[in-house]
A = this chain, B = another copy of it.
Amino acid sequence: MSREQSEKWLPLAKDYAIFGCYAQTELGHGSNIRRLETTATYIHETDEFDIHSPTLTSIKWWPGGLATSTHAIVFARLIIDGKDYGVHSFVVQLRGENHKPLPGIDIGDIGPKFGFNNIDNGFLRFTHVRIPRDQMCMKFSKVSRDGRYLTSSNAKVVYGTLIIGRIYVVERTSFSLASALCIAIRYSLVRKQGNDTKHDPNESIVLDYQFLQYRLFNGLSVVYTFLFVGKWLRNLYKINEKKIREGDVSIMADIHSISSGLKALCADLAMGVLNDIILACGGHGYSRFSGIPSIVDNYARSPIVEGDSTILQLQTGRYLIKVFENAKNGRPTPATLSYLKDYLRILSERSKVTTWEELTDPNEQIKALTHYHTRLLAKLISNLEETSKTHLQGYEGAKSDYMIDIINVSRAYCYTIIITSANEGLESIKLTYSNIYPTLRILINLFFSNFIIKYSGEFLLDNYFNSNQIKIFELGIKNCLEKIRPNAIGLIDAWEFSDNTLNSALGRYDGNVYEALYNWAKLEPLNLAQERGEYVGYNEVLKDIYNREYLKGINKSKL
């Protein structure tokens, strides 16, 4: 918005005089924003815009908080004298006195979802709704009284909104995973199962099982690795913000690409960790009393909100293709990727170290990842160049034959960012936090080693690592688990989640897990009704089916 517009609308919003939402996505249009269909047609006579949903697929769909909002920032195509100026944003009032929708406004809730049902994602259909001209958001583009369209070159800065949303997903991931791990690790210290023998009748604390450690400590490694990544990303964002204020948009494309790919990879990894956490809790993890299903519900939308993971990874991959082509041809590259100029040297490198300590040295970690992502990128470029010679749509067309590879390149690059920023972040606090440094070092090493083992084929393929080095990583993972075990409880208690926050029968600080499960079940409405002598379902249905003489026999029947 312009300064005048902000000065008008922001106090109203801050004062709760109006409730707003961000209405972009439409029923038929998500990631391809250029194809949004809602129109905002300038009406010269009245100095207004006519906001309209011309088709079924143009109905706004999914905006969070829309169903109960009084106002929305609506993304619509600006039309002046029949000419389409593309998508712009407009402030539209949706509801008037007593919350009644205004004329021409068809608004509602889009119904139940896979999780996050506390948010009223809504729909919104316009039938020729008029708004005054000054409700177009006019920071970068303007329409004058006589219908002239004026725009500034800084318009791409609006993507900043998308970037911060993606950074938030990355930052929130550590928090979500840490709360689920807090529940799982505490419960795994209370829960005992198996390993009892004739000689030793006691069952083992399940957290002492190697495989459970493998699941949960991998989760811990993700939590702490992403803590460093999130801080690094937030810092990059601040630098970008400062530059923008100075009129410098030079790192905008870079941060857009990094935040897109990282958000996608981060959500994907986190969903896997959450799945592991549920599995690690046995049956009780599936009870809502465990608190874990709610965390999953709240997190589950992460692969799709703020951009579809696949689309984001393709964007990042395509950006890398462009940067690599620039590097190869001696054109400028962004600072974060300037090493690509050295790609021939990077491709020729092989790991020469032979011990766990050397293999997990921060510089060696970064070197391995840089080699990996550069190799995939160089291979992709060479394939694209080869295929484009015979492809009808040339280089651009060839890309559609390499979507799998483009996504793999994005993933490899984002792992490189993760390993680089986590290691640099950790090394930067080595002296200030020398007491916790060793434990955090093990977590980062574990994250790295799990990555290497998962993608070992990629490193064996060109002998960057040999089979002996891979075996050292396998062994190293087990050693990490043993070393993390004594610190597991500390690493989650450090987050200081209260029992209220966790809302979990399994993750209670006092460890009275089974009492809590039983007491909470007793409070279920069905069970309370039974205590009052009301048997839900019995009078309505069951009675007519099985009310036979037989049931009077009360455990006394003889054959």
Contacts and interface: CB of A to CB of B under 8 A. Distances in A.
Interface of A: 4-5, 8, 12, 16-19, 25, 27-32, 34-35, 56-57, 59, 61-62, 67-68, 70, 92-93, 95-102, 107-115, 123, 129-132, 134-135, 191-196, 203, 209-212, 214, 271, 275, 278-279, 282-283, 285-289, 292-293, 296, 300-301, 303-304, 308-311, 314, 400-404, 407, 453, 455-462, 467, 470, 477-478, 514-515, 517-518, 520-522, 524, 526-527, 530, 533, 535, 537-538, 542-543, 545-548, 550-559
Nearest to A401: B210
Which 6 interchain pairs have the tightest Cβ spacing? Answer: A456-B457, A457-B457, A108-B527, A114-B293, A460-B460, A210-B403
Nearest to A51: B555
B521 A123 contact: yes
A106 to B, nearest CB: 9
Contacts of A557: 132
B108 A550 contact: no
Contacts of A462: 467
Contacts of A18: 546, 550-551
30 contacts: A8-B559, A27-B517, A29-B193, A31-B282, A32-B193, A56-B515, A57-B514, A67-B526, A68-B538, A70-B546, A97-B552, A99-B535, A111-B287, A111-B520, A113-B288, A114-B285, A114-B292, A129-B555, A134-B558, A135-B555, A194-B311, A209-B400, A214-B403, A283-B304, A286-B301, A401-B478, A404-B477, A404-B478, A456-B456, A457-B459
Nearest to A280: B310
Contact of A211 (B16, B279, B403): B403
A551 B110 contact: no
A309 to B, nearest CB: 6
Nearest to A541: B68
A25 B282 CA distance: 12
Contacts of A556: 132
A283 B4 CA distance: 35
Copies in the complex: 2
A93 to B, nearest CB: 5
B304 A286 contact: yes
Contacts of A4: 559
Contact of A113 (B113, B212, B293): B293
A233 to B, nearest CB: 23
Nearest to A7: B559
Among A109, A114, A517, max chain B CB count under 10 A is at A114
A55 to B, nearest CB: 9
Given A112-B288, A113-B287, A293-B113, A98 B457 contact: no
A544 to B, nearest CB: 10
A271 B275 contact: yes
A30 B134 contact: no
Contacts of A401: 210, 478
A404 B476 CA distance: 13
Given A28-B514, A93-B551, A194-B311, 5 more contacts: A100-B535, A110-B287, A110-B524, A279-B310, A404-B478
Given A287-B110, A554-B96, A203 B123 contact: no
A96 B547 CA distance: 9
A537 B120 CA distance: 11
Nearest to A67: B526
Nearest to A204: B400
B31 A552 contact: no
A538 B211 CA distance: 51
A468 to B, nearest CB: 10
Contacts of A453: 457
A186 to B, nearest CB: 16
A433 B337 CA distance: 54
Contacts of A285: 114, 304
Nearest to A454: B457
Given A17-B546, A210-B403, A5 B57 contact: no
Contacts of A514: 27-28, 56-57
A555 B282 contact: no
Given A32-B196, A196-B35, A310-B211, A99 B56 contact: no
Given A4-B559, A18-B551, A96-B552, A283 B403 contact: no
A265 to B, nearest CB: 13
Contact of A108 (B5, B289, B524): B524
B30 A282 contact: yes
B17 A548 contact: yes
Contact of A460 (B67, B129, B457): B457
A456 B467 contact: no
Given A517-B27, A555-B93, A526 B130 contact: no
Nearest to A190: B28
Contacts of A30: 193, 282-283
B542 A68 contact: yes
A99 B518 contact: no
A61 B403 CA distance: 48
